[in-house]
Chains A and B, each alone.
Chain A
Amino acid sequence: MVLFGFSKEKATELMLKVHNEGKATVSSGTREEMERDVQRLHEYGLWATLQRDNEL
């Protein structure tokens, strides 16, 4: 699966962040772009949500 083009190291780091902290930010951009990313992540069975930056 190549979705965001992360290196193996970066992907592993994000995976461990999800594993240990429950979530990680993997992508940011316009609402349209993020909805598309979330859609793709759901296809892979990943529990993705999106939110406005100022809510972080």
Chain B
Amino acid sequence: MSAFRRSDDGVIRALFTSQESHVLINLTEQLLELLGEGASQISHESDPFLHLVGFGANELPPDDPVLRRLLPNAYDDPEASAEFRRYTEHGLREKKRAHALTIYEALLPQDEEWNADNPIERGSIEIEIKEIETMDWLSGINDLRLALAVRLGIEKSDGSTQQRYELMKESDPMKAVYAVYNWLGSIQQSLIEAQ
């Protein structure tokens, strides 16, 4: 990946290798799927008003720890938290899905013969981020990084995490996940510096 550079027209560009692009497509697909899971189905028949204003009916925090981090409780008090969630969780899921979708669509190859199961090597790919999409990218990449942090069990940045993963065998799949986690951090940094 080359560093993101901002041109005079406000567009931020970087070159990704096709492998990097596939990793990011994959992650955003998983995030989109996860954010769709357990989303309360707003039934048109059951409550037309709720449907109209886009409120969900979820009151309990999600079971998945990643979702609990992305859609956290707003209060320590479970009752107040439940009420807040009921009115806001649906909208928050939609916002986060929209951010992930901006990234996904920027990465998805335009050529028709390409499909995710049979990726054709395309060398490096130029990623273009319009000024208006920058916050979507920053928020979306941050959500992906938080999701991986939860899966990796990272809670503090006291150096112990880095040590733990450096000592891991190369064959350990979590070592690769940790590398992706670090890479997402460098995308964030590059995007902020290009702004």
Write the residues of chain A forming the contact surface with B, with a CB cutoff of 8 angstroms: 1, 19, 35, 38-39, 42-45, 47-51
Flag if B95 contacts A50 (CB, 8 Å). Answer: no
Dominant SS among interface residues on chain B: helix
Q: Does B12 contact A (CB under 8 A)?
A: no
Point out the residues of chain B lying under 8 angstroms from A35, CB to CB. Answer: 74, 84, 88
In the complex, what distance in Å separates the CA atom of A39 from the CA atom of B135? 16
Counting chain B residues whose Cβ lies within 8 A of the other chain, the interface size class is 20 to 34
Flag if B76 contacts A42 (CB, 8 Å). Answer: no
Flag if B92 contacts A42 (CB, 8 Å). Answer: yes
Looking at B75, B92, B143, the one whose CB has the most chain A CB atoms below 10 A away is B75
Write the residues of chain B forming the contact surface with A, with a CB cutoff of 8 angstroms: 69-76, 84, 88, 91-92, 95-96, 135, 138-139, 142-143, 146, 157
**Residue A42 contacts which of B71, B135, B138, B157 (CB distance < 8 angstroms)?**
B71
Shortest B171–chain A CB gap in Å is 32
In the complex, what distance in Å separates the CA atom of A19 from the CA atom of B72? 18
With A47-B69, A50-B74, A50-B75 known to touch, is A39 a contact of B92 (CB < 8 Å)?
Answer: yes
> What 9 additional pairs, Cβ within 8 angstroms, besides A35-B84, A42-B88, A48-B74?
A1-B138, A19-B157, A38-B74, A42-B71, A42-B92, A45-B142, A45-B143, A49-B73, A49-B75
Point out the residues of chain B lying under 8 angstroms from A42, CB to CB. Answer: 71-72, 74, 88, 92
**Nearest chain A residue, comparing its CB with the CB of B135:** A1
Shortest A48–chain B CB gap in Å is 7
Shortest B57–chain A CB gap in Å is 18
Point out the residues of chain B lying under 8 angstroms from A1, CB to CB. Answer: 135, 138
With A1-B138, A19-B157, A45-B146 known to touch, is A51 a contact of B76 (CB < 8 Å)?
Answer: yes
Point out the residues of chain B lying under 8 angstroms from A44, CB to CB. Answer: 139, 142
In the complex, what distance in Å separates the CA atom of A3 from the CA atom of B175? 36
Point out the residues of chain A lying under 8 angstroms from B138, CB to CB. Answer: 1
Shortest B67–chain A CB gap in Å is 12
Point out the residues of chain A lying under 8 angstroms from B157, CB to CB. Answer: 19
In the complex, what distance in Å separates the CA atom of A23 from the CA atom of B72? 15
In the complex, what distance in Å separates the CA atom of A17 from the CA atom of B82? 28
Shortest A40–chain B CB gap in Å is 10
Looking at A35, A45, A47, A51, the one whose CB has the most chain B CB atoms below 10 A away is A45
In the complex, what distance in Å separates the CA atom of A52 from the CA atom of B70? 23
Point out the residues of chain A lying under 8 angstroms from B84, CB to CB. Answer: 35, 38
